[in-house]
Amino acid sequence: MNSTAAGVLSAARNLGHPVISARATGTLDSYLSTESPIALQGVLNNIGPNGIKAPGADAGVVVASPSTVNPNYFYTWTRDSALTFKYLIDTGNSSLQTLIEDYVIAQAKLQTVDNPSGNLASGAGLAEPKYYTNETAFLGEWGRPQRDGPALRATALMAFANDRLALGQNSTVKDIIWPIVKNDLTYVAQYWNLSGYDLWEEVNGSSYFTSAVQHRALVEGANFATSIGETCTECESEAPNLLCFMQDYWNGSAIISNIDVQQSNFNRGGLDCASILASIHTFDPDSAVGCDSATFQPCSDRALSNHKVVVDSFRSIYTVNANATTGKAAAIGRYEEDVYQGGNPWYICTYSAAEQLYDALHTYNAVGSITVSDISKGFFTDLVPGIATGTYSSSSAEYSSISTAMKSYADEFVAIAQQYTPSNGGLAEQFSRENGTALSAVDLTWSYASFLTMQRAREGNVGSSWGAANAKTVPSTCSKGSGVVGTYATPTATVFPQSEEGTFGSNSSTNGSSATSTGTATGSAASPTKSKSAGNRLSPFPWM
């Protein structure tokens, strides 16, 4: 979100959430169980056309937050929307099928909207970060372009497409989804090596988060194209170049999230929770990938060292971290120099610190061992003092000690978020660095989605591989690109076949979540029923 607005406002002053004096209490499991349906509801409330906190939003359009003043987030961001729908797609819940289809059609339209970043003919318009919720261009000043959006959207749409392919709906995928994905992949291949604004919309340069999600999209895109009888030669040519470039962000102990900065007043050290977000959103659960350091997998020595350094940077700057000594979880913000809305901890950052560790534990269990290297030793020593470098098999006492300590450490991050979650379960953007009161934009869609992805990771439910096992070799010579000049086409299909309604998810149980005949998901969160009236759109969500 934009960081040019000033002033710290409580959620109570912003949009009516009360200031809570009694913090959420109870066990962590009870918090997760109680918050799960609230978080899903929070997401659905912010999606048009029926979301009760998204009035006037077009079908499938995600409103970042219902907040309209200080800050005004009543827009739709390509990045936030893609991350939100990636979660909804990964649930495999058939009751969400039409809502997801609405999102696909909305993105097809947004690709064609001329905007201050450019248009579709050149591809440049695909990097416009946000739009009005009626799918028209926002013409005001902003940090643009933002080059992560096309990559994240392609990743979300390919996940949906793969589910449709599993149901034999190849024509639908090629006619409706592939043209949108193809535009986004072409954009990434053509423009990845140019500067742009980071996910916080503040720094013009090269962003690790952007580079990482771009690399994933190109690798996944090449494989996806092949699976439907298409090609993405630019994906194949540029993915290795991107992987090579990603290594430039590593300084030996941490990821420097912004490099090649184009602003003379840039005064950050570079430690940023964006690097942790990148790790979880490029996690590949394939055991053949393991703890690969080139792609900074969650359990890699680089990612764990980075986790420690980033978390440690927040220990002494927030009052709420007064007791967060080394080896204990801490409330996490964006970066220590942050002043936006007072520069507070963010729910998405605190949840992501836990999610990376849950993902790491999943991989350890898959490969059957844990390796402590010189790079990651500092991280492990905080959890298991005296641990030596080496590889410990799953049958060893050391493995048990490390995995138990890491699970407890991850849970502590969630417990911090629990402590500062208002009693009604509403998740704002931030919570006060002084006393934990919810601050800034209320009912932030990304906050709710980050809770849900964290919970899914904690349960050990993971998505599909994106192909990192065959794309983790760093070229011996780096190139800034092969001079791709993209060709872009207007997506023309705007309606999904009615004959395929109600089929999504019926042949799969993605991430351990499936829909029953009542429309209630078995898994992390309850899901709404699908109304067959009113054009097959999701009905209002009456259980709240």
Residue 41's nearest CA partner among 430, 536, 543 is 543
3-state secondary structure at position 486: coil
Please give the DSSP secondary-structure letter assigned to residue 369. E
Residues 11, 191: Cα–Cα separation, whole Å: 39
List of residues 6+ apart from 165 with CB closer than 8 A = 173, 227, 228
Is residue 213 within 8 A of residue 281, CB to CB? The reply is yes
Tell me whether residue 388 is exposed, middle or buried, using C-beta atoms within 10 angstroms of its C-beta: 0 to 12, 13 to 18, 19 or more: exposed
Q: How many whole angstroms separate alpha carbon 88 and alpha carbon 107?
A: 16
The response to whether 346 counts as a known ligand-binding position is no
Distance in angstroms (rounded) separating the CA atoms of residues 28 and 351: 13
- E strands, 108-157, are 130-131
Does the active-site annotation cover 338?
A: no
Q: In whole angstroms, how far apart are CA 439 and each of 35, 70, 339, 415, 485?
A: 18, 11, 13, 18, 44
272 part of the active site: no
Is the CB of residue 190 less than 8 Å from the CB of residue 486? yes
Distance CA 155, CA 148 (A): 11
From 101, 201, 234, 382, the catalytic residue: 201
* Angle of the 97-110 helix axis to the 149-166 helix axis, nearest 10: 140
The C-alpha angle 274, 276, 277, rounded to 5 degrees, equals 60
Helices then strands, each counted (H, E), the chain: 15, 11
Q: Among 80, 135, 163, 198, which one carries the catalytic annotation?
A: 198
Q: Which residue, among 468, 501, 540, has the nearest Cα to 217 in the 3D structure? A: 468
Amino acid identity of 360?
A: A
Eight-class DSSP state of 61: P
Residue type, 9: L
Which residues are annotated binding-site positions? Answer: 142
Active site residues: 198, 201
Which residues are annotated binding-site positions for substrate? Answer: 142
